[in-house]
Amino acid sequence: MTDQDWMTEARAFVGKQYGRVLAWDKVNSAMIRQWCELMGVKVKTNKDGKVIAPPAMLQVWCMEGPVQNNYPPGSTTENPYEVLKLIEAHDFPSTVAVNSELTFDRDVVEGEDLYYTTRLDSISEQKTTGLGTGYFVTLVMDYFSTAAKDGADEKVGQLMFRVFKFRPAQVHTPAPAAAGEAAIPKIKRPAPGVSDDNRFFWEGVKQGKLLIQRCKSCGDLHHPPGPVCPKCHSFEWDTIESSGKGTVYSFVVMHYPEVPPFEYPNPVGLIELEEGVRLISQLIGIKPGEVKIGQKVQVEFVTFDGDLTLPQFRPVA
């Protein structure tokens, strides 16, 4: 089969609608409460007194749980990712998620039954990126509620999910530079984006200080910095210096794609400082497999490339 033949076969899937994937449980206040506690937000109710699910929970209701592909009875058995298998079979073995977008038509409240359907939206022309050569595949999941009063299913939101199915680029080891030949420039760490809102933070880091924005009106501490207090909406603020002590509230270990000059696997933590605010930082001085939630850490200011100072966190006994 020629490249043109198999891609014609793959593109025939575009527009295909896959069946329903049902939710195991009704939208319920217990899961909403737990979500809100973890995210640090308040539980809200509508005018009828029903608990409102935070919009970002939309995907959660129809997930299969810890066992892969364990969906409720009545869910479709179709594989909406079948086109990825076809592309993979023609020597595009790697997959990386590119981006996703959630949109919401209305609030979802306790007591509703949800499901979603999937549609293969598009397959791009062949593209070459820094990762390799392949195809961008876009799927759209539409979420519905069966609790509409008139008996008709009502759309409540949509997820657009895009992946890149690719053949990895060949990595060539450069030959040693000949005498007098210009050396290949070293790739530097990307510098943070500095604005009028966060300039004080990065200037403090250069001085070996971890500064936290504090509202002058209500005393609320918040990070990342912003022009207005998220609690009382005051524009008046100053800063306090953090002790730099905290715990690992959550973490991820980045494996791929490998982006120079970072080393991989790369543990990145959400650190809860003892003052109560959280910030994201690289974890150092620990093997990726040994990071644990609740682990005590201490800030360490590390300078890269001569002039870039970043706050990183090292575990302490």
Burial level of 211, CB count in 10 A (0-12/13-18/19+)? buried
Task: Compute the Cα dihedral for 252, 253, 257, 261 and give only its sign.
Answer: positive
Q: Are residues 20 and 163 in the same domain?
A: yes
pLDDT at 155 over 50: yes
At 203, phi and psi to the nearest 5?
A: -70, -35
Q: Are residues 125 and 48 in the same domain?
A: yes
Q: Are residues 102 and 147 in the same domain?
A: yes
Lowest mean pLDDT among 16-20, 25-29, 239-243, 285-289: 285-289
Q: Which single residue is written with the structure tokens 């609030």?
A: 107
What is the distance between the terminal CA atoms of the chain, rounded to a whole angstrom? 61
Whichever domain contains 82, its CATH number is: 3.10.129.10
Q: Are residues 87 and 49 in the same domain?
A: yes
The answer to whether residue 133 is domain-embedded is: yes
Lowest mean pLDDT among 30-39, 184-193, 213-222: 184-193
Model confidence at 138, in pLDDT bands (50, 70, 90)?
A: very high
Q: Are residues 231 and 287 in the same domain?
A: yes
Q: Are residues 27 and 87 in the same domain?
A: yes
Number of other CB atoms surrounding residue 157 within 10 Å: 21
Q: Are residues 145 and 211 in the same domain?
A: no
Residue 57's pLDDT is 93
Cα 148 from Cα 146, distance rounded (Å): 6
Its domain, for residue 31, covers 3-168
265: cis peptide before it, omega within 30°?
Answer: yes
> Which DSSP category does 1 fall into?
-
288: cis peptide before it, omega within 30°?
Answer: no
The answer to whether residue 177 is domain-embedded is: no
The answer to whether residue 180 is domain-embedded is: no
Amino acid in the structure at residue 9: E
Q: Which of 26, 117, 48, 124 is nearest to 76 (CA)?
A: 117
Cα 155 from Cα 151, distance rounded (Å): 13
The answer to whether residue 247 is domain-embedded is: yes
Q: Are residues 286 and 209 in the same domain?
A: yes
Those residues whose C-beta lies under 8 Å from the C-beta of residue 300, and which sit 6 or more positions away, are 284, 311, 312, 313, 314
Q: Are residues 110 and 68 in the same domain?
A: yes
What is the mean predicted confidence (pLDDT) over 158-185?
73
**Cβ pair 284, 314 in contact under 8 A:** yes
The answer to whether residue 190 is domain-embedded is: no
Q: Are residues 211 and 134 in the same domain?
A: no
Cα 301 from Cα 167, distance rounded (Å): 39
Instruction: State the total domains in the chain.
Output: 2
Q: Are residues 104 and 222 in the same domain?
A: no
Cα 174 from Cα 1, distance rounded (Å): 36
The answer to whether residue 290 is domain-embedded is: yes
Q: Are residues 163 and 211 in the same domain?
A: no
Measuring CA to CA, how many Å separate 41 from each of 70, 194, 218, 231, 235?
Answer: 30, 28, 18, 12, 22
The answer to whether residue 189 is domain-embedded is: no
pLDDT at 54 over 70: yes
The answer to whether residue 256 is domain-embedded is: yes
Lowest mean pLDDT among 22-26, 172-176, 218-222, 267-271: 172-176
Percent of the chain with pLDDT over 90: 69
At 47, phi and psi to the nearest 5?
A: -65, -20
